[in-house]
Structure 1
């Protein structure tokens, strides 16, 4: 069995409401994208694609954009509830297809996010939640988000972390927009890495060491720059002028920064880059890596990255036991999954 731990979906009720709402330009652009990927909403298309991979199941979450992109906590709460109840129905109806789902939460209202998480996990059966790397440009280590992290840790839930950036985030201060989709190719990975660093130095992982935080795209830049993250950050402060010392005064940590990064989990959504996948596994360890494809955002609009990721995991020198841990064992153990169907 293979359990794909980070897949995106737009259940029909959510999809319909998503297209009804007045939307800012970023959302309008994403509407064009998702409307051209049938497997996001059409389960017949999705299931036909999944048939290629035998005993294969997905853990699903609501596709981008974040609900906060609409700019209203009221809408965020409404969309979160529609998405969560719709995903719960899909998983209950198709246990042979879906191993579970993670909740959509309105992070522009942290109190409501805690309430929605509790409802989704305790009443609907969610495995956890998906969050993004910022909320309307605000970093995710702001103190207002602490009760949410505390609740995720208390519930023993999975916390998936997805990047979020648009062309409005320019590549250079002198420009107004990012060019050549740099905001996506490199910007999203910087977003994830910056999020991880803020979780470390603000003490979120020190305060909530039981957080099961799954970082999309192989744990992003961290494995590939572990020398900078390790020995480099062991010298924190050596590069900072005296008048900027407040910028490096974080939460009191009891371990090297590198060790907190290794507390997180990585997925395998590397889009067919076998060497990069090997690097991520070497850094995090087999026990902290979960199989994921990021389906259905490949050029085939569904099966391409699934196929490529399976091939990569089978060709990079892992033993059968290590492959089984990544494909299935780690996530079932982590979440106590009891699979049906």
Structure 2
């Protein structure tokens, strides 16, 4: 049995939640996704878990920097990373490794965490979001994070968040736009040219980019090839043809298995639905094995 590696799955470290809740009592009521039981209930998480899958876990979108100063945020991120490592070690039958949190309002400490990731076999990368502190993740203020990650061969997981300036945010479409816009901004910042070893894994199959590849080619010809340098996951809740489109654009080595578990299909996520879509893709067995495991293993080889 070949082990499949789901590289984009989430947990909620309970001690982190408790720490934030002390100062933000309404945190759960303000963020309904935090109420999903299988983020914290690992007995529930184990139920009907596919025997041939292990998950790489990252925190849900709950960032200390949104609520606390840089010193406290750094401490909370460090503690949460340790907590997630302990969660993984206590559940090695379903969890493979951890993607670390970094405090974007304390970049010195963010750099230290990236250095820790490069040396700790339990940590495989860092998670960033499309916006931080009200700014694009491609803002020059944050460049040191990308520079350090590239120099140390630490992959970046890119997750969407809403842009609070917009009045009509919605879960179905807004996050795909935000991912696309962040990719556009990162490419225009020339990060792939400055940092050739930079590895960024984009959630939700690269969002709008594969569908609009032609527009990119003819309206942004200078940057077309840089858009292909992202890695993308399969977390679009099915749709084999869309996954084939993503594979066609990014190439067979840049598509990796990710489900966004435990979201979308209760209680544990859309793992079965996404695996069915991958299995129905019109691709070779070598390409399918690449998606399920080999591409991610190769991505990590330099870490």
- Where on the TM-score scale, by shorter chain, does this alignment land: which range? over 0.9
How many residue pairs get aligned? The number is 301
Question: Quick one: which of 206, 226, 234 aligns to 2:213?
Answer: 226
Higher helix share: 1
Question: Quick one: which of 170, 176, 192 aligns to 2:179?
Answer: 192
C-alpha displacement at 1:11, in angstroms? 2.4
Residue 263 (1) aligns with residue 245 (2):
no
5+ residue gaps, structure 2, are: none
Does structure 2 conserve the Cα–Cα contact (< 8 Å) formed by 1:27 and 1:69? no
Question: Quick one: which of 146, 153, 173 aligns to 2:150?
Answer: 153
Residues 158-199 of structure 1 show CA distances to partners (whole Å, capped at 9, x for unaligned) of 200001106x443xxxxxx22xxx432222111111111111
Residues 2-61 of structure 1 show CA distances to partners (whole Å, capped at 9, x for unaligned) of 1000011012322322333326x787421x3212x11101111112242xx122100000
Distance 1:275 1:27 in 2: 37
Residue 328 (1) aligns with residue 293 (2):
yes
Specify the alignment match of 1:34 in structure 2: 34
Specify the alignment match of 1:209 in structure 2: 196
Specify the alignment match of 1:2 in structure 2: 4
Q: Secondary structure at the match of 1:64?
A: coil
Residue 125 (1) aligns with residue 122 (2):
yes
Larger Rg: 1
Distance 2:39 2:17 in 1: 9
**Greater Cα offset, 37-46 or 183-192:** 183-192
Does structure 1 conserve the Cα–Cα contact (< 8 Å) formed by 2:118 and 2:153? no
Q: Secondary structure at the match of 2:74?
A: helix
Does structure 2 conserve the Cα–Cα contact (< 8 Å) formed by 1:67 and 1:79? yes
Distance 1:74 1:106 in 2: 9
Does structure 2 conserve the Cα–Cα contact (< 8 Å) formed by 1:66 and 1:132? no
Distance 2:28 2:266 in 1: 23
Specify the alignment match of 1:99 in structure 2: 96
Cα RMSD, aligned residues only: 2.1
Does structure 2 conserve the Cα–Cα contact (< 8 Å) formed by 1:27 and 1:65? no
Specify the alignment match of 1:316 in structure 2: 281
Instruction: Summarize the Cα distance change of 1:27–1:68 in structure 2 as closer, same or farther, 3 Å threshold.
Output: farther
**Greater Cα offset, 122-131 or 151-160:** 122-131
Q: Secondary structure at the match of 1:294?
A: coil
Distance 1:27 1:165 in 2: 17
Distance 1:17 1:325 in 2: 40
5+ residue gaps, structure 1, are: 171-176, 235-255
Does structure 1 conserve the Cα–Cα contact (< 8 Å) formed by 2:201 and 2:231? yes
